[in-house]
Amino acid sequence: MYIARIQIQNYRCFRQSTVEFQPGLNVIIGENNAGKTTLLKALALVFDRRSQGRPTVHDFHCLLEPLDSPPRITISVTLRSSVTDTPADRALVASWLTSLDAQWEAQLTYTFFLPETDEAAFRSALNGTADRTTYFEIVDEFLPKYVTRVYGGNPDTVVTADSDTLSKFDCQFLNALRDVESEMFSGRNPLLRSMLEEVLDINKQDGEKRLLRSAFRERSKELRTELIRRLDTPRLFQLVSETGAGDGGTPTLDGGVQESDLIGALRLFIERESFAFPATHQGLGYNNLIYVSLLLSSMSFRASEKRRGQNAAVFPMLLVEEPEAHLHPALQYKLLAHIVSRVEKEPHLNRQVFVTTHSTHVTSAARLASIICLAVRESGEIEIAYPSRLFPDTPEGKKSRTYVERYLDATKSAMLFAKATLLVEGIAEQMLVPAFASRDGRSFDEHHVAVVRVDGVTFKHFLPLFGAGVATNLLEHALHRRVACLVDADPGRKERGVDNARWKSCFPFQLNGDSSSFDYRATSDVQQALIALIAGSSTIEVFSGEKTLEYDLALASGGNQLLVTDAVTHGDALKELCAAPNTLPKKLEKQFEADELASLDAIQNTEDRKKHRFAATYLRCTENAKGEHSFALEKIIRTPPENSSPLQCPPYVAKAIKWVTEATVQQASGPAKP
């Protein structure tokens, strides 16, 4: 059994939305104010009957319509059977069933409303006003009369769910502002103390436990007797008889030390090498890890029928806001990986875990199927996307899903959080394009653009996340945001009349130069396949220049010596070419084949010949040092030397930057026109 779906009406940012879950782990991501916390709190309103307070006037959806009746909050949760069900599962929800199919369903509905007996008074106070501020002032006035109900089964039958049955759901909520130190170590019932009591004699039989308790009491009597002997009670009580209090009896000391008393006196220490220190002196991050691990253990104990009998929880569930709080990235990954493992190994003891996060390290530890993306549309509605559903159940779809899951690491998973995404082939684009964007007033940080480096042939695996090549009925699950694919044109040619001839890279100025001997193509198969894949999409565009980024950068900037960094080969000769573009130095001439030089010389326009000569030479001199060269060039783009001509952004790169930094697209039914 698992929570398969939640429907939320008029609660905070949700006007009317449905979110679907999977068994085990559910990771909820999205921008700020997209409803992540609200989603957890909605679950808690249904299942956490111990600590949830009443909603306030600010918990109603602020844009609800019409304004002629008292508003209500309704949260419906659908429970669905699974292969791991136990007899206790169906018994728990027997009176809430709404579907008796092989995969049965049950429903719980939380509602916060004004009783019918008070509705007339509410409308009278409203007096036909259409002013939203006045409306909510009247709602606030009537709020003390609002009631809370949880109905089981079809809510139209208005059958209240039994509180004892609801208590079988063990809902633990860790909010983002949790004070783990005080919750673990202090308070009336700190978590550490309760867990120590749980593991006391955990593997002993009942008879053996009684013997151990009896032996403990006997030994504690010796301590009690010794302590009382050291106390000067006559002096303490000498005034009792003088004041007359002794007429009621003589004061004396007695009692014993129980195991729980001594457990309460224990303090947690952390051992490290040759010393130990109190856990209260440990960092917040490690205490967070200890707290979460203890909480998971406590859920397992409360679900143990052997220990709790009929009081055992049937459905333990954990709600965690931002588990990454105070944690090093590596520990973020490790924590979620542990939670995933725990849920899979003990499906009955940790039924479902719901996690909200802003951490790419957390999402990289989760499977794609567990990720739910929330975003705010321009209308204010909440958009809900399920990335794993965008890959069809075909060999190619499975291959793409497997690839994305494997390579959706902390860097690449940034695309799930961003408002727009730029997919690039190599490190040069990854470094230089954001520099050009920042210099030209379109900072990717300010526009929330993720730059994700993917191999040229793997663009196709990631694009279904954004609706490319996806069936129309699945588009609503896609991430509806702008995507730019920055692709090398990589023109090529192959010999004519030669069996099994292969395409080989060539320069743009060689295209159609010898049509009797070669077939030519201006763009690579990768680019052509991408264009076909995104056909019909208005949120994804493919951008390319004449060959590669380095080539097109050199074309745009001409013979600017700022392009020549210490990392390039033959740097002195390149600078010589910058100063005298009409002549190719002998050292650089050796970088080319004879037919390449002939094609260069065949360019009719003198200026074009200079530009392509420099671009081709520049490309050859940077091919073996792209990383180091890109790092140096990135700094030059952002902060060019004084009295120097700035480097020019290649036109296709400028178009891509503009595309991803324009207004984002928020549509429910699929990509929309920009």
Strand partners, 11: 14, 60
Alpha helices in 367-423 (DSSP H): 395-407
Q: How many domains does the chain have?
A: 1
Alpha carbon of 129 to those of 63, 120, 122, 139: distances in Å? Answer: 15, 15, 12, 13
Mean pLDDT of 233-259: 73
Closest CA to 4 of 103, 117, 138, 100: 103
Q: To the nearest 10°, report the CA torsion of 43, 48, 52, 58.
A: 10
pLDDT on residue 172: 87
414 belongs to a structural domain = yes
Question: Does the model's pTM come out above 0.85?
Answer: no
241 belongs to a structural domain = no
pLDDT on residue 674: 33
Mean pLDDT of 422-428: 93
Closest CA to 303 of 422, 169, 411: 169
Q: How confident is the model at residue 219 (pLDDT cuts 50, 70, 90)?
A: confident
First CA to last CA distance, the chain: 43
366 belongs to a structural domain = no
Instruction: Please check whether residue 174 is in contact with residue 290, taking contact to mean a CB–CB distance below 8 angstroms.
Output: no
Query: CA angle, 514 as apex, 508 and 520 as ends, to 5°?
Result: 50
pLDDT at 601 exceeding the cut of 80:
yes
649 belongs to a structural domain = yes
Closest CA to 215 of 201, 231, 196, 233: 201
278 belongs to a structural domain = no
Percent share of the chain, pLDDT over 90? 52
Of the ranges 275-284, 287-296, 322-331, 434-443, which is most confident? 434-443
pLDDT on residue 666: 41
Instruction: Please check whether residue 418 is in contact with residue 621, taking contact to mean a CB–CB distance below 8 angstroms.
Output: no
pLDDT on residue 245: 63
Sorted by sequence, the CB contacts under 8 Å of residue 280 that are 6+ apart come out as 181, 185
Instruction: Please check whether residue 318 is in contact with residue 43, taking contact to mean a CB–CB distance below 8 angstroms.
Output: no
Mean pLDDT of 145-152: 96
520 belongs to a structural domain = yes
Q: How confident is the model at residue 668 (pLDDT cuts 50, 70, 90)?
A: very low
Please name the amino acid found at residue 285.
G
Instruction: Please check whether residue 278 is in contact with residue 272, taking contact to mean a CB–CB distance below 8 angstroms.
Output: no
pLDDT at 361 exceeding the cut of 90:
no
Number of Cβ within a 10 Å radius of residue 665:
20
pLDDT at 345 exceeding the cut of 80:
no
Q: Tokens for 651, please give them.
A: 């036109």
In whole angstroms, what is the distance from residue 275 CA to residue 71 CA? 60
pLDDT on residue 671: 39
Strand partners, 3: 79
pLDDT at 96 exceeding the cut of 70:
yes
User: Is the pLDDT higher at 569 or at 222?
Assistant: 569
Strand partners, 355: 27, 320
Q: How confident is the model at residue 565 (pLDDT cuts 50, 70, 90)?
A: very high
In whole angstroms, what is the distance from residue 244 CA to residue 242 CA? 5
The lowest-confidence range among 173-187, 253-267, 297-311, 500-514 is 173-187
Q: How confident is the model at residue 667 (pLDDT cuts 50, 70, 90)?
A: very low
Q: How confident is the model at residue 287 (pLDDT cuts 50, 70, 90)?
A: confident
Percent share of the chain, pLDDT over 70? 93
**Strands, E, within 124-235: which ranges?**
147-152, 169-174
Structural domain boundaries, residue 655: 391-661
In a 13 Å sphere around the CA of 207, the CA atoms on its Cβ side amount to: 0
pLDDT on residue 347: 66
User: Is the pLDDT higher at 671 or at 233?
Assistant: 233
In whole angstroms, what is the distance from residue 405 CA to residue 243 CA? 81
Instruction: Please check whether residue 487 is in contact with residue 456, taking contact to mean a CB–CB distance below 8 angstroms.
Output: yes
Find the helix or strand (DSSP H, E) in which 267 lies.
none
The lowest-confidence range among 226-230, 439-443, 497-501 is 226-230
Q: How confident is the model at residue 177 (pLDDT cuts 50, 70, 90)?
A: low
pLDDT at 669 exceeding the cut of 60:
no
Mean pLDDT of 584-608: 94
In whole angstroms, what is the distance from residue 327 CA to residue 288 CA? 8
In whole angstroms, what is the distance from residue 149 CA to residue 159 CA? 10
424 belongs to a structural domain = yes
Alpha carbon of 339 to those of 25, 85, 148, 284, 344: distances in Å? Answer: 8, 21, 33, 19, 9
Please state, rounded to an integer, the average pLDDT across all residues of the chain.
Answer: 87
The lowest-confidence range among 276-285, 360-369, 545-554 is 276-285
193 belongs to a structural domain = no
Find the helix or strand (DSSP H, E) in which 461 lies.
helix 459-462
